[in-house]
């Protein structure tokens, strides 16, 4: 009877050892996953989403401004009797219309991104270049956080004798949420889109007006 009691007391020890071993292995795998896989997946996802969003913004900008932007209609130049430039003024109504049109089109395209496929190179995890072209595809969800913010920037510089180069840029800001299988990340995307690059004959006066209504 005593012999039977001892066996009953210790017969669960192998099961306990197996459970403890499995828990240790699970924790080790989880630590490795969080240390190697998750950061690599975030980097790949950010690069992929950033590239996709920038392509949408740049292509939409080209489509809209190449068709509807005309420098002479948007920028009014006043000269004195001697041909010197006295004032440069932007037609803010027309410029803001194009900016709003661009923002609405980009927001619509970004909302339609939905899920995109991201290839997870094994080389990023193993740090072995042999496996850079190998790896599974992972689906991630992309959400546009709020509307795109855009603003014009005007830049003047000398382009020769009595000539001035006038560049117009559109600064665009966007925030995107990336929903990964194990983590959520937010990405700020900022880009500067060239709108116009024009040579003006005449010296730019100190009272030239920029797009914000401030003196340049």
Say yes or no to pLDDT of 23 above 70.
yes
Phi-psi region of 163 (alpha: psi -120 to 50; beta: other; left: phi over 0): beta
Cβ 105 vs Cβ 64: under 8 Å: yes
**pLDDT above 60: residue 162:** yes
pLDDT of residue 33: 64
- Cβ atoms of 211 and 74 within 8 Å: the answer is no
The predicted-structure confidence for 92-104, as pLDDT tens digits, reads as follows 888 899 999 999 9
pLDDT for the residue numbered 171: 92
pLDDT number for residue 115: 77
In the chain, the percentage of residues whose pLDDT exceeds 70 is: 74
Q: State the Rg of the chain over Cα.
A: 30
Phi, psi of 86 (to 5 degrees): -105, -25
The distance of Cα 50 from the centroid of its chain, to the nearest Å, equals 4
Tell me which residue of 61, 66, 143 sits closest to 102, measured CA to CA: 61
Q: Are 135 and 47 in contact (CB under 8 A)?
A: no
Q: How far apart are CA 200 and CA 79, in angstroms?
A: 12
More confident residue, 140 or 209: 140
**Predicted confidence (pLDDT) per residue in 115-142, tens digit:** 777 766 666 565 655 656 666 667 778 8
Question: In the 8-state DSSP scheme, what is residue 34?
Answer: I
Q: Which residue has the higher pLDDT, 55 or 27?
A: 55
Across the range 23-36, mean pLDDT stands at: 69
Lowest-confidence pick of 75-79, 112-116, 126-130: 126-130
**Helices 38-68 and 92-111: angle between axes, nearest 10 degrees:** 140
**Would you place residue 172 in the very low, low, confident or very high pLDDT band (cuts 50, 70, 90)?**
very high
Stretch 76-91: mean pLDDT, rounded?
Answer: 79
pLDDT digits (tens, 9 = 90+) for 196-206: 888 888 766 66
Please list, residue by residue across 139-152, b when 16 or more beta carbons sit within 10 angstroms of its beta carbon and e when fewer do: ebebebeeebebeb
Residue 216 has a pLDDT of 41
**Percentage of residues of the chain with pLDDT beyond 90:** 6
- Residue owning tokens 């800001």: 173
Asked whether residue 149 carries a pLDDT value surpassing 60, the answer given is: yes
Q: What is the mean pLDDT of residues 153-179?
A: 85
Question: What is residue 90's predicted lDDT score, i.e. its pLDDT?
Answer: 85
Res. 35: pLDDT tops 70: no
DSSP 50: H
């Amino acid at each position: 009877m005593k012999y039977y009691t001892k066996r009953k007391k210790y017969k669960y020890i192998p099961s306990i050892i197996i459970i403890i071993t499995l828990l240790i292995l699970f924790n080790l795998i989880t630590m490795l996953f969080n240390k190697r896989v998750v950061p690599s997946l975030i980097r790949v996802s950010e690069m992929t989403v950033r590239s996709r969003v920038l392509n949408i913004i740049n292509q939409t900008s080209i489509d809209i401004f190449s068709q509807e932007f005309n420098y002479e209609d948007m920028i009014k130049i006043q000269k004195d009797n001697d041909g010197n430039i006295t004032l440069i003024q932007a037609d803010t109504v027309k410029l803001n219309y194009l900016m709003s049109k661009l923002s609405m089109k980009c927001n619509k395209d970004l909302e339609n991104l939905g899920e995109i496929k991201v290839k997870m190179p094994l080389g990023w995890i193993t740090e072995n270049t042999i496996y850079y072209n190998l790896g599974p595809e992972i689906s991630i969800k992309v959400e546009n956080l709020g509307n795109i913010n855009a603003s014009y920037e005007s830049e003047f510089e000398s382009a020769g004798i009595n000539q001035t180069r006038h560049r117009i840029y559109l600064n665009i800001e966007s925030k995107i949420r990336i929903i990964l299988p194990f983590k959520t990340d937010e990405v700020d995307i900022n880009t500067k889109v060239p709108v116009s690059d024009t040579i003006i004959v005449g010296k730019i006066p100190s009272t030239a007006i920029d797009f914000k209504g401030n003196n340049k």
